[in-house]
Amino acid sequence: MNWIYKQPVEIFFGCGEINRIFDLVKGYNAPLIVCSPYFVRSGLAENLKAEIKNAGIFSNVSPNPDIREVNECSEVLRQNKNDIIIALGGGSVIDLAKAASLKLNDIREVWGTGKDVTAEPVPIIAVPTTAGTGSEVTCVSVLTDRKTDRKMPLSSEKLYPKQAVVDPELLHSLPPHITASSGIDVLCHAVEGFWSKNHQPVCDTLALKAAKLILKYLPTAYKEPDNKNAREKTAEASLLAGLAFNLPKTTASHACSFPLTSIYSIPHGEACGLTLDYFVRINGEGEHTKELIKELGYKNANEFADKIYRLKKETGLRTGLADLNLSDEAVTRLVELSHHPNLYNNPVEITDDILFDMYNKLRKE
Ligand code: NAD
């Protein structure tokens, strides 16, 4: 087996590390803080701005960021001649910052085209505030075109942040439902990164550790938002899972999540987690996946899938789609739109029959 491992992002981890930003921006002339409106309301963005010379704030970022928001941020970067971005937020903020950092007139010049990204980005200091996406160490930016319901990733070496500042204290303000939704995304990254067709030993090792941590600490972080240890361990799991899936890429659960989010507004992590136990049962007979299941301490795929189902119940995540009253046509559309490139990265071939079976089970639950 031949493989490559590469990770260019400098990582700072630990409580209080947010203050590291002040050192990291030294030498830059015009920093832009990109954040979600939540951090304007909480006062954190203004506090940072007050301490950083010439800093500006861009906060028009919604969950699952729209390409128009990216273009608006690019315009701000061009006009203000910003030379460093501080991306303070969850995956949505970090992904928007990555795409905007290219300063294109319209991100559709590259997003959804398969063309190589050649623009030189404004460097990014990524400060994740959810334990979920791992976007702070990945070369991916997931964007949505709300006019066409299309959600898909843009992937390029140019999209790696320069630095990641992971401060678990930033997670304490997360409401339980976002803790759960982003937390199950961590489990998906770990499991999918491990069984991906492109898996390799370094990423496997990271994936296994990340999966163990998130299975152990997510329920506590959900029930006790101020539990320091649980928040720290979920932040660690998220970072490791980001490193674990970045190169191998995700698989069937992520492929199916994109239409579930863009059509039915199911939060990203919750949409990924919805199908994870189903795909554990499908992929569970492969030798490599069996190794994961065994290392995690489960006897077989069914036992691990049942554990994931219970974890979703315990953390208030959806386990079905019955509330959406999906018609036959809606199920057919979901099957069609699940044929995203990540589906072909799954270790077992996912046929339309499998997808129909899965969505028909989910629509009744
Ligand atoms: P998010 O960034 O969409 O945030 C969800 C909500 O939580 C927002 O309303 C936000 O304001 C709020 N929030 C964030 N941090 C908070 C905090 N500390 N306290 C209170 N509220 C807070 O959620 P996410 O799950 O981190 O990101 C999801 C997005 O990331 C999706 O678009 C998904 O496709 C993408 N994603 C990207 C990658 C990648 O590698 N680039 C990987 C996985 C997912």
Closest ligand 1 atom, residue 64 Cα? 32
Q: 90 CB under 6 A from ligand 1?
A: yes
Question: How far, in Å, is the centroid of ligand 1 from the Cα of 90?
Answer: 3
Q: 245 CB under 6 A from ligand 1?
A: no
Residue 305: closest CA among 289, 321, 316: 289
Strands 140-145 and 150-155: antiparallel
Q: 179 CB under 6 A from ligand 1?
A: no
Asked whether residue 189 carries a pLDDT value surpassing 90, the answer given is yes
Task: Look at residue 288 in the predicted model and tell me its pLDDT.
Answer: 98
291 — pLDDT class (breaks 50, 70, 90): very high
Q: 268 CB under 6 A from ligand 1?
A: yes
Lowest mean pLDDT among 33-37, 149-153, 181-185, 238-242: 149-153
Question: Which protein residue has the closest C-alpha to ligand 1 atom 21?
Answer: 174
Structure token pair of residue 179: 């803790």
Q: 262 CB under 6 A from ligand 1?
A: no
Q: 315 CB under 6 A from ligand 1?
A: no
Question: How far, in Å, is the centroid of ligand 1 from the Cα of 65?
Answer: 10
Average pLDDT in the 148-165 region? 95
Task: Look at residue 149 in the predicted model and tell me its pLDDT.
Answer: 85
- Distance, in Å, from the CA atom of 164 to the CA atom of 184, rounded to the nearest integer, reads 21
Task: Look at residue 38 in the predicted model and tell me its pLDDT.
Answer: 97
Q: 88 CB under 6 A from ligand 1?
A: no
Asked whether residue 209 carries a pLDDT value surpassing 90, the answer given is yes
Q: Could you tell me which residues are beta bridge partners of residue 154?
A: 141
- Distance, in Å, from the CA atom of 89 to the CA atom of 66, rounded to the nearest integer, reads 16
Question: Which percentage of the chain shows pLDDT scores above 70?
Answer: 100
Average pLDDT in the 38-49 region? 98
Mutate to test the pocket of ligand 1, among 67, 129, 173, 253 (most ligand atoms within 8 A of CB): 129
- Distance, in Å, from the CA atom of 129 to the CA atom of 199, rounded to the nearest integer, reads 27
Structure token pair of residue 25: 């921006």
Q: 219 CB under 6 A from ligand 1?
A: no
Question: Which protein residue has the closest C-alpha to ligand 1 atom 2?
Answer: 90
Question: pLDDT digit string (tens) for 1-35?
Answer: 999 999 999 999 999 999 999 999 999 999 999 99
- Distance, in Å, from the CA atom of 297 to the CA atom of 291, rounded to the nearest integer, reads 10
Question: How far, in Å, is the centroid of ligand 1 from the Cα of 327?
Answer: 30
Closest ligand 1 atom, residue 140 Cα? 41
- Distance, in Å, from the CA atom of 60 to the CA atom of 203, rounded to the nearest integer, reads 34
Question: Which protein residue has the closest C-alpha to ligand 1 atom 4?
Answer: 90
Task: Look at residue 241 in the predicted model and tell me its pLDDT.
Answer: 98
Question: pLDDT digit string (tens) for 104-146?
Answer: 999 999 999 999 999 999 999 999 999 999 999 999 999 999 9
The answer to whether residues 172 and 225 touch, using CB atoms and an 8 Å cutoff, is yes
Task: Look at residue 299 in the predicted model and tell me its pLDDT.
Answer: 98
Run of H or E including 331 = helix 328-337
Closest ligand 1 atom, residue 143 Cα? 32
- For residue 167, the one-letter residue type is D
Q: 156 CB under 6 A from ligand 1?
A: no
Run of H or E including 91 = helix 91-100
Structure token pair of residue 103: 């300063």
Q: 142 CB under 6 A from ligand 1?
A: yes
Q: What is the mean pLDDT of the chain?
A: 98
Q: 140 CB under 6 A from ligand 1?
A: yes
For 213-240, the DSSP string reads HHHHHHHHHHH-TT-HHHHHHHHHHHHH
Closest ligand 1 atom, residue 178 Cα? 7
212 — pLDDT class (breaks 50, 70, 90): very high
Question: Which protein residue has the closest C-alpha to ligand 1 atom 44?
Answer: 133
Question: How far, in Å, is the centroid of ligand 1 from the Cα of 89?
Answer: 7
- Distance, in Å, from the CA atom of 58 to the CA atom of 81, rounded to the nearest integer, reads 14
In 66-181, at which residue ranges do the beta strands (DSSP E only) sit?
A: 84-89, 124-128, 140-145, 150-155, 163-166
Question: How far, in Å, is the centroid of ligand 1 from the Cα of 353?
Answer: 32
236 — pLDDT class (breaks 50, 70, 90): very high
Mutate to test the pocket of ligand 1, among 9, 18, 36, 166 (most ligand atoms within 8 A of CB): 36
Asked whether residue 314 carries a pLDDT value surpassing 90, the answer given is yes
